[in-house]
Amino acid sequence: MTKRGNQDEYNKLLDLFNAKTKSKSESVLHLMRLDFSYEQAKNAVHVYFKGGETRATFRLSRDEREKLLDDFDATRKTPNECVNYLRGRGCTYNQAKSAVYKYRQERGLIRKQNV
């Protein structure tokens, strides 16, 4: 059975391993030796080398989301531009992606799919 971890734990383990001076492959193997699955290790190393915050420094309310994205003129931007804009304002990737999706959905910029 593989261990479960979070990015903070992975970051600490990779820092102790001095991963910034090693290859990504070596770092993945190191985490796998510590009983993390290949997928866990690969994803953790990707986030580690990509850098940036892994946790939001604040919670984004609906009003804050709307104000930030309205000020950015988000209805005229691509989703990726909006996500990157929010990340630059302190949001994590997942928080920004979710906020942009909700904003675009509320503005009717996303078509509903019939399943």
pLDDT given at position 49: 85
Cα–Cα distance, 75 to 109 (Å, whole number): 8
The answer to pTM > 0.75 is: no
How many degrees, rounded to 5, is the angle at CA 90 between CA 68 and CA 108? 35
* Residues 28-59: tens digit of each pLDDT: 999 999 998 898 888 888 888 887 566 655 67
Instruction: Give me the pLDDT at residue 62, please.
Output: 84
In this predicted structure, the answer to whether residue 25 has a pLDDT above a threshold of 70 is yes
- The SS3 call for residue 86 is helix
Higher pLDDT residue, 11 or 81? 81
Extents of the domains making up the chain:
7-50, 62-106
What's the confidence (pLDDT) of residue 8? 81
Give 18 or 53, the one with higher predicted confidence: 18
